[in-house]
């Protein structure tokens, strides 16, 4: 179980406060990149008309995903309980293979590096990576 230390949580909350105005754009960019760099992830979006970076469905869904991440930041002290409904959604309805959470997390980190090159230090990077791993674990809770 990934354990977030108090230092990790503070780093995540402080960095999130800095980046949250850009959350929608970050989500859209990360999602768009994921579909290009990891084409197998397109299989979950066959129902979208346009899968190219910057498209309307990607922008909308990127915002949805980052809304979930914002929620996770707010519930960082108990992610398993806080993300219960989202876990059920991903497990029973969406049935996203949990391996893909890691892939999307990687692309979020790449976009954070692009958008905040000076703030995304190695120390912030490790805290955010641990946090996104913990979120992925909480999302996987209800799968089996």
Partner 1 sequence: MVEWTEQERNIITSIFSSLDYDDVGPKALSRCLIVYPWTQRYFASFGNLYNADAIKTNPNIQAHGTRVLHGLDRAVKNMDNIKDTYAELSVLHSEKLHVDPDNFRLLADCLTIVIAAKMGSGFTPEMQATFQKFLAVVVSALGRQYH
- Nearer Cβ to partner 1, position 99 or 114? 114
Residues 90 and 72: their CA atoms lie apart, in Å, by 15
Minimum distance between the CB of residue 25 and partner 1, rounded to whole angstroms?
A: 11
How buried is residue 2: exposed, middle or buried, by Cβ count under 10 Å (0-12/13-18/19+)?
A: middle
Minimum distance between the CB of residue 65 and partner 1, rounded to whole angstroms?
A: 16
CA atoms within 13 A on the CB side of 111: 22
Minimum distance between the CB of residue 31 and partner 1, rounded to whole angstroms?
A: 10
- Nearer Cβ to partner 1, position 32 or 62? 32
Minimum distance between the CB of residue 127 and partner 1, rounded to whole angstroms?
A: 9
- Nearer Cβ to partner 1, position 83 or 124? 124
Footprint on this chain of partner 1 (rule: CB under 8 A): 32-33, 36-37, 53, 106, 109-111, 113-114, 117, 120, 122-123, 125-126, 129
DSSP notation for 26-72 = HHHHHHHHHHHHSGGGGGGGTT-S--STT-HHHHHHHHHHHHHHHHH
């Amino acid at each position: 179980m990934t354990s977030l230390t108090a230092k990790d949580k503070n780093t995540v909350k402080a960095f999130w406060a800095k980046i949250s105005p850009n959350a929608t754009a970050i989500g859209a960019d990360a999602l768009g990149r994921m579909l290009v760099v990891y084409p197998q992830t397109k299989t979950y979006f066959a129902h979208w008309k346009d899968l190219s970076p910057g498209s309307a469905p990607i922008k909308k869904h990127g915002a949805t995903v980052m809304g979930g991440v914002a929620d996770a930041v707010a519930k960082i002290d108990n992610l398993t309980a806080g993300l219960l409904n989202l876990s059920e959604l991903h497990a029973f309805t969406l049935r996203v293979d949990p391996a893909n959470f890691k892939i999307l997390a990687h692309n979020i980190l790449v976009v954070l590096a692009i958008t905040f090159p000076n703030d995304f230090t190695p120390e912030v990077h490790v805290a955010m990576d641990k946090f996104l791993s913990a979120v992925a674990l909480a999302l996987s809770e209800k799968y089996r």
